[in-house]
A and B are shown apart, each in its own frame.
Chain A
């Protein structure tokens, strides 16, 4: 089996700071995703990538950048952290981007902004 590793597990930042979250998968999956999870709002898609060097915007891409320089890794940058922001960022991957493919998730990065 494979695994998705997200680093760091916890991230504390300052208002206005640029923050980078990393995700690695060893499934050899083509598609990777970044979701933001807020209490009561479920999962909202920020960015996804269907292959190396591909980037597609999700519903919540404003305020974020992403990078997929290798098939196995997908990073997300918060371009300017908002004061009192608190959320969990989940990385996921799937074999392909067909609608029938299940997603495999990492354990998340918990962000707190002071």
Chain B
């Protein structure tokens, strides 16, 4: 089945620096890609959903890159601020329809120092 490796497990940056989290997946048929953010004591909140057809996806203060050739998904927080401190998870799933559940990475704990 699908395997998702996420790195690094822990990341510490200063305010204003960039922070990059990378996920590598194994199934070439993977089609939907998600980034979730989990703040302390809370559930996961969707940051962005990415389709297989789009390589660069821009959100508010972050960019998600999809490299299908290398089967890699990355989240780049361009100028991190303390409010970005959280645990981030990637998730990958196959095409829509049928019995396809997302496979999650193990998470990255990000700390942004003022």
Chain A residues within 8 Å of B, Cβ to Cβ: 4, 33, 40-43, 45, 48, 56, 58, 90, 92, 97-108
Contact = CB atoms under 8 A, between A and B. Distances in A.
A37 to B, nearest CB: 8
Q: Binding site of B, secondary structure by majority: helix, strand, loop or mixed? A: loop
B9 A103 contact: no
30 contacts: A33-B101, A40-B106, A41-B106, A42-B107, A43-B104, A45-B101, A48-B101, A56-B99, A58-B101, A90-B43, A90-B44, A92-B44, A98-B96, A98-B98, A98-B100, A99-B32, A99-B96, A99-B97, A99-B101, A100-B31, A100-B32, A100-B93, A102-B46, A102-B49, A103-B46, A103-B102, A105-B43, A106-B43, A108-B41, A108-B42
Nearest to B30: A99
Contacts of B19: none
Nearest to A98: B96
Interface residues of B, number: 30
A105 to B, nearest CB: 3
Contacts of B25: none
Given A4-B43, A107-B41, A42 B97 contact: no
Contacts of B43: 4, 90, 92, 104-108
Given A42-B89, A42-B107, A99 B41 contact: no
